[in-house]
Amino acid sequence: MKHFLITVIIFLGWSPVFSQSSVTQDSLEIRRIYDMALLKGQAYQWLDHLSNKIGPRLSGSYNAERAVQYTKQELEELGLDKVWLQSVMVPKWVRGAKETAYVEVGPDSRRDVKITALGGSISGSIKAEVVEVQGIEDLANLGQEQLKGKIVFFNKPMQANLINTFAAYGGCVAQRYSGAAEAAKYGAVGVMVRSMNLRLDDFPHTGTMSYGDLPVSSRIPAAAISTNDAEYLSGILKLQKDAQLFFQVNSEQLADVESFNVIGEITGSEFPGEIIIVGGHLDSWDLGDGSHDDGAGVVQSMEVLRLFKELGIKPKRTLRVVLFMNEENGLRGGNKYAEMAKKNNENHIFALESDAGGFTPRGFSFDTGDAEFAKIESWKHLFEPYLIHLFERGGSGADIGPLKNGKTVLAGLRPDSQRYFDHHHSDNDTFEHINKRELELGAATMTALVYLVDKYGF
Amino acid sequence: MKHFLITVIIFLGWSPVFSQSSVTQDSLEIRRIYDMALLKGQAYQWLDHLSNKIGPRLSGSYNAERAVQYTKQELEELGLDKVWLQSVMVPKWVRGAKETAYVEVGPDSRRDVKITALGGSISGSIKAEVVEVQGIEDLANLGQEQLKGKIVFFNKPMQANLINTFAAYGGCVAQRYSGAAEAAKYGAVGVMVRSMNLRLDDFPHTGTMSYGDLPVSSRIPAAAISTNDAEYLSGILKLQKDAQLFFQVNSEQLADVESFNVIGEITGSEFPGEIIIVGGHLDSWDLGDGSHDDGAGVVQSMEVLRLFKELGIKPKRTLRVVLFMNEENGLRGGNKYAEMAKKNNENHIFALESDAGGFTPRGFSFDTGDAEFAKIESWKHLFEPYLIHLFERGGSGADIGPLKNGKTVLAGLRPDSQRYFDHHHSDNDTFEHINKRELELGAATMTALVYLVDKYGF
């Protein structure tokens, strides 16, 4: 400890003495934050309830509303200064009966394959020959001649040699999001997309898709197929070009319904007009229970405010937790929150989102200017004892994106990404895949950053 | 890329130009290593065989010998310059029939609890009252008066607020290793140890223990109890001080048997007398299948040499993989290897062990001098694109420890440690808990370091 202090003193060049004690105080306060999160954390118990007692929380569903009520009640029990619901109209897409699909290589030879409708897909029952492509860019070359009446099979895999798996996701998610809209233009009758999963397994992964400006009459059903079955289908097509794929999707887009962002606040003691928010999204897909996406971010964000209360840290600035509704298929909650913030002339100095899974935190990504980033980087050494090394510039989070105004500093927690797409948007995103310590370390890491932002501002 | 090169040039102060191209070449070569490991890796398939086709590999067991034969054969298929077995006598401890245990709070009230014999324990069947302690240091205070005829229940938990879980392990493993030897001195008749596990669950965790210089007649049986049942037992003892614990252990220490370290080598093209080794231990406990401890380290070490071969990188120095036998309950393989290295006047410049699980690699720990560490630190930037940030000084690995001579640089791979003790030495250490990418990233990270050590030496 003596050695540590000497190092700090040398680092600061002895002046001002104030800074030395301030740095020491910060490191002690951050130690208290991690201790409380790891020894007496609440995030894991909250997530247990959200995942196991409530379950998947697709926008507009009964479970989504239960999640709103539950988290509001839990925030109220923390004794925050204010807790409220922010009304927002959300789309209501329902899956209907479970999808079915098989590959037919002859009249007596069918094999079932595991699929799931993409979120937003229309219903439909289709049997047709299949054209395999490696992405939207292949469609123009094939043209209407080869695609009309066919099912387009988008089979571009996630690139396994990218270290950040979100980069691999970004590299092929367009085929899921816009594949149906593009394939329909060439007369395709359906779309089957390889699941966004780096692993070979039997889970189909859903996710949002859009028909863009395609007229309703031209829309075609779209589903995702498990990676194992994508490999199978691709193999069959090499052997037998005219093999047929049957698939049925039973989903429906209903009218928008009212839902809510859940918001809790500790009002700042010195600068109440400077607002700091932490958040995640309360909705999830309807597969699994949404533990990693984004139950983890929800409970970590709640834990940030709980830790402030529990440790008796009174923020100088106003500290809010925002649990956004409808990130997965509309971003209505994020848009609504930003719209209201603007309307109310609120000054958000900092927004932090956790929406990349409840895995061991590695650091943060910041969407901000040079001066603010330099200030943040000066705090980096305070995180090293907790093995938090990554302070990079880049994106933040979808829900806080609409707050971007060139002034507000936006940030995203960056957990280890290696396992995320084993779970994302599938039946495999369940509570048993959450490690309590990893979840708690994420919450503590977020709290430490918020503590510093609150103390020093921008 | 342009920007990167400029940065490099500034960093190097323009001189010598040679260094610039050398740094670029290193970063390209390391990129090739990661690409090959992630796109065409072999480690996961090897581990599948070792874990699922062979299984647990306790020293002296049939499975341990099958693992020796399997890995030797796989190394031979890599086309290395030499593959051989190094004979070593190892202890043969056998568990015997599964242990049984129950807590009795009254004549008609028994509850079974989950235990496992500690490795090295004698057999025995005991029923007695229980004295709970928080570590060996409590024994002297209680004395013979309170311990004679009792079962000592060592219930010190791992400290959850330590970020590195190995530090938490280090803080309470003494009660497992020496608890029985110490408690027996006060007349205790048996020892029950809380499993070394940060999580509350139903898996008892074994591990090695020693009776020290205790005469055979004074030895007492020792077992570990699951963390859930440790909490239960502790709770019962608060309600009813005279509750009794029954437990039976059926193990036996047989005569030593012959086993082997498995060694493969690519002979150096320029400095064959300078030896670099990478290794893990081939033996495991007899619970689970030893996937993380240390199947992962075994296949990652094999993968290092495979990647050199596959990528056509001819090492200047001699590169060896050493799969050590008997790390868990004797370290005979590690001692034997070091003894033979000394006897043969071999010059080991570098030894790297992977024995901390197959999780996402975070960096390395180095046991070395200042000059060597400074050299290693100058390579740090080459690892940053792979999110490898941790280059610390400290321990290395148990098997390579005996090579320590003040000259050889010793290193240990440091994967993320959060989940390790959920699995370690228990039925929960199985292949399904291995993530393919995390395992492969570890192998690539080891290979990159070995590439640099081979190229630049010490």
pLDDT digits (tens, 9 = 90+) for A109-150: 999 999 999 999 999 999 999 999 999 999 999 999 999 999
- Stretch B138-142: mean pLDDT: 98
Per-residue model confidence as pLDDT tens digits over B197-209: 999 999 999 999 9
Least confident range from A68-72, B104-108, B401-405: namely B104-108
3-state helix, strand, coil in chain A (%, to 5): 40, 25, 35
pLDDT for B395: 96
Q: How far is A39 from chain B (nearest CA, A)?
A: 6
What percentage of chain A reaches a pLDDT higher than 90? Answer: 94
Per-residue model confidence as pLDDT tens digits over B350-370: 999 999 999 999 999 999 999
Interface test with B, best of A292, A416, A439 (most B CBs within 10 A): A416
At residue A3 the predicted structure's pLDDT band, cuts being 50, 70 and 90, is very low
What percentage of chain A reaches a pLDDT higher than 70? Answer: 95
Residue A289: alpha-carbon gap to chain centroid: 14
The average confidence (pLDDT) of chain A is 95
Q: How far is B389 from chain A (nearest CA, A)?
A: 7
Contact list, A164 vs chain B (CB under 8 Å) = 387
pLDDT for B20: 60
Q: How far is A200 from chain B (nearest CA, A)?
A: 10
Which residues of A belong to the active site? 327
Residue B70 has pLDDT above 90, yes or no: yes
Residue B134 has pLDDT above 80, yes or no: yes
Interface test with B, best of A162, A389, A390, A393 (most B CBs within 10 A): A389
Per-residue model confidence as pLDDT tens digits over B279-299: 999 999 999 999 999 999 999
Per-residue model confidence as pLDDT tens digits over A365-423: 999 999 999 999 999 999 999 999 999 999 999 999 999 999 999 999 999 999 999 99
Q: Find, in chain A, the residue whose alpha carbon is nearest to that of B31.
A: A161
Q: How far is B368 from chain A (nearest CA, A)?
A: 20
At residue B19 the predicted structure's pLDDT band, cuts being 50, 70 and 90, is low
Multiple choice CATH, B2-91+255-456, 3.40.630.10, 2.30.30.140, 2.30.110.10, 3.40.50.720? 3.40.630.10
Interface test with A, best of B35, B360, B431, B432 (most A CBs within 10 A): B360
At residue A20 the predicted structure's pLDDT band, cuts being 50, 70 and 90, is low
In whole angstroms, how far apart are CA B217 and each of A451, B152, B181?
Answer: 60, 18, 12
pLDDT for B9: 35
Per-residue model confidence as pLDDT tens digits over B197-254: 999 999 999 999 999 999 999 999 999 999 999 999 999 999 999 999 999 999 999 9
CB contact under 8 A, A435 and B441: no
Q: Taking a C-beta distance cutoff of 8 angstroms, is the pair A279, A322 a contact?
A: yes
Q: How far is A268 from chain B (nearest CA, A)?
A: 29
Residue B125 has pLDDT above 80, yes or no: yes
At residue B106 the predicted structure's pLDDT band, cuts being 50, 70 and 90, is confident
Domain ranges of chain B: 2-91+255-456, 96-250
The average confidence (pLDDT) of chain B is 95
Residue A16 has pLDDT above 90, yes or no: no
pLDDT for A19: 57
pLDDT for B32: 98
pLDDT for A106: 85
CB contact under 8 A, B437 and A161: no
| Closest by Cβ to A160, choosing from B38, B161, B362 | B38
Q: Find, in chain A, the residue whose alpha carbon is nearest to that of B163.
A: A386
Q: How far is A418 from chain B (nearest CA, A)?
A: 7
Q: Taking a C-beta distance cutoff of 8 angstroms, is the pair A35, B161 a contact?
A: yes
Contact list, A200 vs chain B (CB under 8 Å) = none
pLDDT for A94: 98
Prediction ipTM score? 0.93
At residue A235 the predicted structure's pLDDT band, cuts being 50, 70 and 90, is very high
| Closest by Cβ to A39, choosing from B160, B164, B390 | B160
| Closest by Cβ to A385, choosing from B163, B435, B438 | B163
Total beta-carbon pairs less than 8 A apart between chain A and chain B = 61
Q: How far is A417 from chain B (nearest CA, A)?
A: 9
CB contact under 8 A, A360 and B198: no
- Stretch B393-417: mean pLDDT: 98
Q: What pTM does this model have? A: 0.94
Contact list, B160 vs chain A (CB under 8 Å) = 38-39, 437
Which residues of B belong to the active site? 327
For chain A, list residues whose CB is within 8 angstroms of any CB belonging to chain B: 34-35, 38-39, 160-161, 163-165, 198-199, 360, 362, 385-387, 389-390, 416, 418-419, 422, 435-438, 441
Angle separating helix axes A17-39 and A2-12, nearest 10 degrees = 130
Per-residue model confidence as pLDDT tens digits over A71-114: 999 999 999 999 999 999 999 999 999 999 999 998 889 999 99
| Closest by Cβ to B418, choosing from A165, A360, A418 | A360
| Closest by Cβ to A163, choosing from B165, B198, B387 | B387
Amino acid identity of residue A236, one-letter, is I
Contact list, B35 vs chain A (CB under 8 Å) = 161
pLDDT for B2: 40
Contact list, A390 vs chain B (CB under 8 Å) = 387, 389
CB contact under 8 A, B161 and A39: yes
What percentage of chain B reaches a pLDDT higher than 70? Answer: 95
CB contact under 8 A, A416 and B360: yes
Reading the block at residue B195, the tokens are 């499993």
Interface test with A, best of B3, B163, B384 (most A CBs within 10 A): B163
CB contact under 8 A, B422 and A435: yes
CB burial of residue A384 (10 Å; 0-12, 13-18, 19+): exposed
pLDDT for B302: 99
* A243: CB partners within 8 A, 6+ apart: A103, A104, A105, A129, A130, A236, A237
Contact list, B441 vs chain A (CB under 8 Å) = 163, 418
| Closest by Cβ to A38, choosing from B38, B160, B199 | B160
At residue B18 the predicted structure's pLDDT band, cuts being 50, 70 and 90, is very low
CB contact under 8 A, B39 and A161: yes
Q: 3-state DSSP call for residue A102?
A: strand
For chain B, list residues whose CB is within 8 angstroms of any CB belonging to chain A: 34-35, 38-39, 160-161, 163-165, 198-199, 360, 362, 385-387, 389-390, 416, 418-419, 422, 435-438, 441
CATH topology for the B96-250 domain: Glucose Oxidase; domain 1 (3.50.30)
CB contact under 8 A, B161 and A34: yes
- Stretch B91-114: mean pLDDT: 95
Q: What is the DSSP letter of A417?
A: -
Residue B394 has pLDDT above 50, yes or no: yes
| Closest by Cβ to B387, choosing from A386, A390, A422 | A390
Q: How far is A109 from chain B (nearest CA, A)?
A: 31
Per-residue model confidence as pLDDT tens digits over B296-352: 999 999 999 999 999 999 999 999 999 999 999 999 999 999 999 999 999 999 999
- Stretch B379-390: mean pLDDT: 98
Q: Find, in chain A, the residue whose alpha carbon is nearest to that of B439.
A: A418
